[in-house]
Amino acid sequence: MAWWVAFERAFEAALADARDAVVVGISVAGQQHGMVTLDANGAVLRPAKLWNDTESAADAWWLGKQLAAGAAGWAAAVGSVPVAAFTITKLSWLHRTEPDAWSRLAHVLLPHDWLTYQMTGQMVTDRGDASGTGYWSPITEEYRWDLLGIVDRDRDWSQTVPRVAAPTEVVGEWRGIPVACGTGDNMGAALGLGLAAGTAVISIGTSGTAYAVSDTPTADRSGLVAGFADASGRYLPLACTLNATKVTDAVARLLGVDRDEFTALAMAAPSGAGGLTLLPYFDGERTPNLPGASGWMSGLRSDVSREQVARAAVEGVCCSLLDALDAIRAVAPVDRVVLVGGGARSQAYRSVFAALCDLPVGTAEADEAVATGACVQAAAAAHGQSHDEVVRRWALGAVTPVEHPAGTPSADVRAQYAALRGATYSS
């Protein structure tokens, strides 16, 4: 119930800060992929498994072998190759490891679905978040019962998964306020940023993401790009990394400095960190799919400086994010990049990413893009408008350019990083 308590407190705090505001709609944008399991009475069976829980990595590998065409078959079926983040792998894990919970399982929801259920009593989801389960296809806009049958062929899955609502549908009420269907965090951010074709987003948070909107569904058989749907009726190819600011936070802790001091250290070192390279796979990785990976550092010498270590950490994370961006550019046209998330507020991240990227880079002026996107969805549902109409009316999508700094050629830094990645994880 921690999520519900947090929601109620946040809602009351928002009302207190805007005493004259009238709430016309509510929408929940929540972290993708997680698994919330309920019994027949709607009670939670076990703690939710979140997207970054890699315990189901073995199940992802097993599921990938269950279709004759392997990864290509999964990409053709649901636009994505399942990895440990996907809900279907977590269902397989539950079926394999917790038979008692499995026997009592009546409903499976995503995190945002559960909050919508608490408000409305309706078990409903949206196409954006559903596309990250591994069992709903953005290509056909339907559940794939055959894929769920791989996990358990004896279960009536049509009674287990939530209904997929239309993008601007009102699915119920809470305190007399219309409630929209909600969506995943990345889909919410795309709405909040007014994301248009040709722009890719790099979100630098604890983890990292690269995504862009597309008018057609994508299916990357390599598994690097997840072929998601967005919240509006289009598509959102996305590549995700497990490690972003958590890496630089960890290195700052080892150096004994706070974030501002860490930024100063990183900015004081030259581009390329004097040959020091950090592979930032601290807690496993998703792009590439290496759930058991760990971080590596190369190029250490006796005269290494704290500045070099800080710079190498930032460059390592940025190179990892650029790998994800390269995967997006292989399936969708991109002519500029917008940085969002907590890391985008860091001068070190902004400067280093712009230096290493061969496209124009800017930062979004939206402070909380995911929450803004939820507001866009709520307004569209409450007023019967399209998302694009709300985005235009609210003038969303403003970007501040980031100056491209001079220094070591980006190709040299990325080649240095690629060499370490290849030598450490040749797969």
Give the number of residues written for the chain. Answer: 427
Domain positions in the chain are 2-183
For residue 70, is pLDDT > 60? Answer: yes
At what angle are helices 111-120 and 2-17 packed, to 10 degrees? 70
Tell me how far CA of residue 145 lies from CA of 39, 63, 83, 131, 158, in angstroms: 20, 14, 19, 14, 8
What is the CATH architecture assignment of 2-183?
A: 2-Layer Sandwich (3.30)
Average pLDDT, the chain: 94
| Burial category of 261 from C-beta neighbours within 10 Å (exposed 0-12, middle 13-18, buried 19 and up) | middle
Q: What is the pLDDT of residue 417?
A: 96
Going by pLDDT thresholds of 50, 70 and 90, the confidence category of residue 408 is: low
Rounded to the nearest 10°, the torsion over CA 399, 403, 408, 411 is: 30
Going by pLDDT thresholds of 50, 70 and 90, the confidence category of residue 307 is: very high
CB 325 within 8 A of CB 202: yes
Largest CA distance in the chain: 67
Smallest CA-to-CA distance from 387 within 188, 122, 179, 201 is with 188
pLDDT in tens, 128-147: 999 999 999 999 999 999 99
Q: Could you tell me the pTM of the whole model?
A: 0.90
Backbone angles phi, psi at 24, to 5 degrees: -105, -15
CB 373 within 8 A of CB 340: no
Catalytic residues: 185
Going by pLDDT thresholds of 50, 70 and 90, the confidence category of residue 407 is: low
CB 301 within 8 A of CB 313: no
The C-alpha atoms of residue 277 and residue 314 are separated, in whole angstroms, by 10
The C-alpha atoms of residue 311 and residue 304 are separated, in whole angstroms, by 12
The C-alpha atoms of residue 358 and residue 338 are separated, in whole angstroms, by 13
Going by pLDDT thresholds of 50, 70 and 90, the confidence category of residue 122 is: very high
pLDDT in tens, 318-364: 999 999 999 999 999 999 999 999 999 999 999 999 999 999 999 99
